[in-house]
Amino acid sequence: MISTHQLRKSFGEREVLQGIDIEIQQGQVAVLIGPSGCGKSTLLRCLNLLEQPSAGEIEIAGNRLAFTPTTKLPERRKAEFRSKTGMVFQNFNLFPHMTVLQNVASGPYLNGLKSKAEAHETANRLLQRVGLTDKADLYPSQISGGQAQRVAIARALALDPQVMLFDEPTSALDPELVGEVLEVMQGLAQDGTTMIVVTHEMGFARNVASKVIFMEGGVVVETGVPNEVLRQPQTDRLRSFLSRVEH
């Protein structure tokens, strides 16, 4: 469903992604772990074309893009490719001047994918799915961080992506609000949503992930099923990382 081949990204002289090969099948949940600064966010941002890779290939749902340092993609092609992924950020990034319902409905409506009525119908269904039907008419400032993140998830789902990308979705939350967001994500996983999740929540990795990918210094160091990767790390680098995070 989503794969990369020798994906590279440099910022100036610094190569932050140094040839990443990953492969995630339809319906799989990949949890991406690794120390701060190892390139996790950059990888997700490349998959979503928020950053343009310097080299290598990305394939999502049969659609393949190859990059060189001078690749210049037409905006239309970028938008088309970007629409295959839904991204959820650490800080929610909701539109403050829109209600919860408008936040979720605006994407498909503005993209011309749906009429206003259809977009609202979809938004109501998605708010139900994340358990926020009663918050539809509130503004982001009037809800909790956990609720805001669930709205952000609904908003990403509204565009009907093939793959959901989560970049530390619970890192900005008070500890008591983490569970409700993980629960929604677990629900998506159970419904067969293909997901890549950057998180330090090792419980989520153990219980929900089909695959764990450990990155360090811009390369994938280990990858495999959670039981093996988290219980029997093969490298000192992963052993050392795991001993530093709670699990």
Residues that bind ligand ADP (CB under 6 A): 11, 16, 34, 36-42
CA pair distance 239, 233, nearest whole angstrom: 6
Retrieve residue 17's tokens. Answer: 């992604």
Contacted entry of Mg ion, ligand ADP, none for residue 69, CB cut-off 5 to 8 Å set by kind: none
CB of 7 to ligand ADP, least distance (A): 13
Q: Which is nearer to ligand ADP, 26 or 71 (CB)?
A: 71
Closest of 86, 75, 65 to residue 4, by C-alpha: 65
CB of 27 to ligand ADP, least distance (A): 25
Residues near Mg ion (CB under 5 A), total:
2
* Chain residues 107-146 in contact with Mg ion, contact rule CB under 5 A: none
Q: Which is nearer to ligand ADP, 109 or 166 (CB)?
A: 166
41 binding Mg ion? (CB under 5 A): yes
CB of 54 to ligand ADP, least distance (A): 12
CA pair distance 5, 46, nearest whole angstrom: 12
Q: Which residue has the tokens 């959670």?
A: 226
Stretch that binds Mg ion, among 7-15, 20-28, 33-41, 64-72 (CB under 5 A): 33-41
CB of 191 to ligand ADP, least distance (A): 27
CB of 41 to Mg ion, least distance (A): 3
CA pair distance 80, 74, nearest whole angstrom: 10
CB of 8 to ligand ADP, least distance (A): 12
CA pair distance 105, 195, nearest whole angstrom: 22
Q: Which is nearer to ligand ADP, 42 or 99 (CB)?
A: 42
Q: Which residue has the tokens 């966010």?
A: 41
CA pair distance 177, 138, nearest whole angstrom: 19
Q: Which is nearer to Mg ion, 86 or 107 (CB)?
A: 86
Angle ∠(48,62,2) on CA atoms, nearest 5: 45
Closest of 206, 234, 202 to residue 220, by C-alpha: 234
Q: Which is nearer to ligand ADP, 109 or 214 (CB)?
A: 214
Other C-beta atoms lying within 10 Å of the C-beta of residue 95: 12
Tell me the HSE value of 241 on the side-chain side, using a 13 A CA sphere: 25
Contacted entry of Mg ion, ligand ADP, none for residue 107, CB cut-off 5 to 8 Å set by kind: none
Contacted entry of Mg ion, ligand ADP, none for residue 11, CB cut-off 5 to 8 Å set by kind: ligand ADP
Q: Which is nearer to Mg ion, 28 or 41 (CB)?
A: 41
Which residues make Cβ contacts (< 8 Å) with residue 2, sequence separation at least 6? 22, 23, 24, 47, 58, 59, 60, 61, 162, 163, 194, 196
Residue ranges binding Mg ion (CB under 5 A): 40-41
